[in-house]
Structure 1
């Protein structure tokens, strides 16, 4: 299972290296990583996606807390949260295919951020499933390059689990 960890750390040189080293020494892969300033000056938030069962994640959490600059570790996997990623896609876009690509961009609520004679750069923001889906539908045009951030996540103060609501809606129907 993949777990999403939100880690608050003191914003000091070498913190990310020490945390990545901790994972590497224990043979764990970090599948996704995003780092940036948090709400408090001098504190950064590291959001990472790590594979492992609950026991492994509990052990990693204990190891993270042993790091001097780690302030808080939270596994937000099962907590209602807003999760987003950003992806830039450079896609072949001949004049014949351009209108179809633009329709797909609109369907995915993405946007074109650069245009050239034979390509488009598309910005996509959303959950990881959306990223996979748009890549699949644009694949037929030829994807030249992809740049993708790691997952960002903040827990919902409302505690509303939108995945649960979607499942109810699917069962009830329109």
Structure 2
């Protein structure tokens, strides 16, 4: 099963490595990992996506809470949440076909050089997959980068 985990941790050297190491030491490959500072410069939010057995993931989460750098941890998988991912792709092809695809998916042009168009798209991971597939059908996607998932619990259910 897919697990989406949000961790608030101290923004200091080695904190990320300790948390990621805990998952890796249990044999779990991290599918997606994003980390960035929060409004509090001393705290970072780490968002992980892993696939695995519910019981084992629950145990890893309990063990993660014991790490000195971890302030809070929540599995968002079964909670109401919003998740987004950024795609930047280099597409080579006819501008009119690329522009139609951009309009259909709500992407935007970052730059153009000859038949090469650099595009940006932000959406849920499944939407990013569909957008990337659409670009591949109308041109050559010569390169792309995905940011990994950023997620927050919905404000209507978040504890404040």
Please, what TM-score do these two structures have when normalized by structure 2? 0.94
> For the pair shown, which has the larger CA radius of gyration, 1 or 2?
1
Q: Residues of 2 paired with 1:106 and 1:118: CA distance? A: 18
Q: Residues of 1 paired with 2:92 and 2:147: CA distance? A: 22
Query: Which of 146, 155, 161 lines up with 2:144 in the alignment?
Result: 146
Residue 153 of structure 2 corresponds to: 155
Aligned residues: CA RMSD: 1.0
Q: Residues of 2 paired with 1:124 and 1:40: CA distance? A: 28
Match status 1:121 vs 2:143: no
Match status 1:9 vs 2:6: no
Where does the alignment leave 5 or more consecutive residues of structure 1 unmatched?
160-174
Matching of residues 16-165 of structure 1 within 5 Å:
16-93=16-93, 97-140=94-137, 141-159=139-157
Q: Residues of 1 paired with 2:26 and 2:150: CA distance? A: 24
| Cα deviation code 1:45-67 (max 9, x no counterpart) | 00010111321221110111121
Q: Residues of 2 paired with 1:92 and 1:33: CA distance? A: 29
Question: Which ranges of 4 or more aligned residues in structure 1 deviate by more than 3 Å?
Answer: none
Q: Residues of 1 paired with 2:92 and 2:97: CA distance? A: 12
Q: Residues of 2 paired with 1:132 and 1:2: CA distance? A: 16
Where does the alignment leave 5 or more consecutive residues of structure 2 unmatched?
none
Deviation at 1:72, TM superposition (A): 0.6
Q: Residues of 2 paired with 1:144 and 1:91: CA distance? A: 6
| Cα deviation code 1:105-148 (max 9, x no counterpart) | 01111101010002001001000111110111111311100100
Instruction: Give the secondary-structure state (helix, strand or coil) at the position aligned to 1:31.
Output: strand
Q: Residues of 1 paired with 2:98 and 2:115: CA distance? A: 12
Instruction: Give the secondary-structure state (helix, strand or coil) at the position aligned to 1:121.
Output: strand
Preserved contact between residue 3 and residue 77 of structure 2 (Cα < 8 Å): yes
Residue 165 of structure 1 corresponds to: none
